[in-house]
Each structure stands twice: as C-alpha cells, then as structure tokens.
Structure 1
C-alpha cells in the first residue's frame, strides 16, 4: 500500500489502543495490512481465521484508531471495504518496570510460528557501552530499519526486523560470587 499521506507514527496512548495491540491475532492482522490493504475475507484467509473472528478483531483495531478503511468498491451490490494501517508505524509506550513488552512478545511468537526451515538471522550480543555509544547505536539501528522500510516492495514476501537495545537487570550475586 502506498504510505504517502499517512502519518509517520501513531503513538499508542489509550487503554483501548493498548488492549487492541496487545493481542497476538490483532498484531498479525496489522502485519497483513501493513503494506497492502485487504478485505475482511482476505485478512481471514491470510491469518487463518474464520471471517467472523477476523471481522471482530478488525473492528476493535478500527475503533482504537489503528486501522481504517482506505477504499471501498461495489461487488454484486455489496460494498467491500479495504482496511489499511492508520499510520506508517505504531509506537508503543514504555511498558514500565516489570510490565510485559508486548512488541517483543509478539516478535518472539512470530519467530516461533515462522517455518523452521526458512532463512533467518537471529543473534544476541552482550555489549558494554557508554551512554553516548548506546544512544548512537540505537539511532543507527533505527536509521537502518527506516532505510530498508523505504525500500520495501509490497510484491515481495514479508520480512520482520526486530531489535531490542536495552540495559538488562543486574544479575543477583550469591555470596559475593559472580555467575
């Protein structure tokens, strides 16, 4: 879907929006319409849901302002609605101390659901960085993701890029020994 004219980001600020994006099924629906609008029937087929369930989840996303009808067309007297994202990206609030990070939970669920024999690049690196290096790396990762998002071709299969740059909780040390 051409994203011209869409706001760059929609910040999730309400409880209704947070509940809407916290559901894995709705997360997957948003992934289906991220680049190309789709009807309820198309969404149901791509996500593997019954049409009624798909309609229910899309209505919740629409009511929360996360998706919208981007075009309609008449088919044998029935108006077919095509749904698309309300913004190019969705920005979630900081989960807060001890709160679940829904974005990372959804990313892990998507990774687990991906075909085991598909090509993937999953790495974890432990770094020791100054505050300046931490900020610079975060900005470079975001710029790289933005650069490749601009190159996205809706005719190609989906690819997900997820990164998390964070300071982990300190490890508890038993009896002064480090593990």
Structure 2
C-alpha cells in the first residue's frame, strides 16, 4: 500500500453515508424500478429522468414518477448544479442503504412484503452483475481477470462470531475508500464487491 503522510495516517477512514430504512422509507423504496433508479444514480452519478429511462429501458413518464417518489422519501435530491435546461437532474442522497432485520419480521404485513421485495431485488441485481462479469471477463486484461474473485467458504461459527466477521469485512472494505490517488488513473475501475453470510443446517 502506498505510504501516507502523518496527518493522513492519523485521520480515520471516512464512513460511507448509509441510510437505515424504517418501515415507512422501506415501503417507499420497495419497488423494482425505484431500486434500479437509486442504484443507477449511486453507480453512475447524477442523471435526468430521460437519461435513466433510456439506460433502463423504461418510459420517461415511469422514471419521472418513481424519481419523484424516491425524492419524497429522501433517497434522492435534485442536482441543480447540473441542470441547464428544463429537465431536472437527480442525484443520490446517500452512498448505501441498510435494512434492519427486524423489518422482515414486522407485525405489519405490508412492511414484511416490502422487505421481501427489497431483498429479492438486491439478490437479482447481484446475480445480474455476476452473470455480466462472467460474460464480459474475456474482454478484460489478464491483470483484472486475476484480480477478480468468485469464492465461497463454510465455517463453523456462532451467531456472535458471524456478526463480528461481517463487521470486520465491512471495516476492511471501507478502509480502501481512503487510498491515495493511483499513480495512473487509467488503471482505476469501479469494483463491485458482494458479501453474503448466512447459516445453513448440516445435511443428514
């Protein structure tokens, strides 16, 4: 890892701005197109409804409506610095979203249903991204192919140990947000990292 100066060394790695969902905001987000729109704004930066419609294969009317709903629930906000015409530019208000596990067991069936929609869409996105990478990996350099990873592990852990492991993985990943600029910016790409951790009963 490149050397950092003393002042940089002492500074803590900035945490990403994450929105923790409550029952109301979850119900406002739990629509496949809204999740896709929010993801697009987080991944690619500010955009208009027309640009997002073209990118996602939707009508601009549909994207406009769902963008307004996302804004009403505080997930996105206008980007006036980008707006030079009549059409609004939108940007994500947070870097990520966190789902509290209690919402999957909420007394309100609408909230439980929204949690199921949200989680199903996230799983779908992960599967799509992996499928796209496998199909496109031949077009990437040997260095990038060597640097990619598709692994799974089975460990014997308690719930507390698993929680600790997930927390430490997140800390390690977030520490890479604070790296000094690369010597050659052309070598830098957006890297997607998925983590999944869940218990599985032993087969008889």
Residue deviations 1:134-179 (CA, integer Å, cap 9, x gap): 23311221113323455699x97654322122334x46xxxxxx52
Deviation at 1:104, TM superposition (A): 4.3
Matches within 5 A, 1:33-52: 33-35=41-43, 36-52=45-61
Deviation at 1:65, TM superposition (A): 1.1
Deviation at 1:38, TM superposition (A): 0.9
Q: Which residue of 1 aligns with 2:74?
A: 65
Deviation at 1:46, TM superposition (A): 1.7
Instruction: Structure 1 unaligned segments of length 5 or more: list them.
Output: 1-6, 172-177
RMSD in angstroms over aligned alpha carbons? 3.2
User: Moved runs in structure 1, 4+ residues, more than 6 A?
Assistant: none
Cα separation, 2, equivalents of 1:19 and 1:113: 24
TM-score, length basis structure 1 = 0.71
Instruction: Structure 2 unaligned segments of length 5 or more: list them.
Output: 1-15, 107-111, 138-147
Count of equivalent residues:
161
Greater helix share, structure number: 2
Greater strand share, structure number: 1
Distance 1:83 1:90, change over 3 A: same
Distance 1:102 1:165, change over 3 A: farther
Asked if residue 117 in structure 1 is aligned to residue 135 in structure 2, the reply is yes
* Kept in 2: contact 1:107–1:162 (CA 8 A): no
TM-score, length basis structure 2 = 0.64
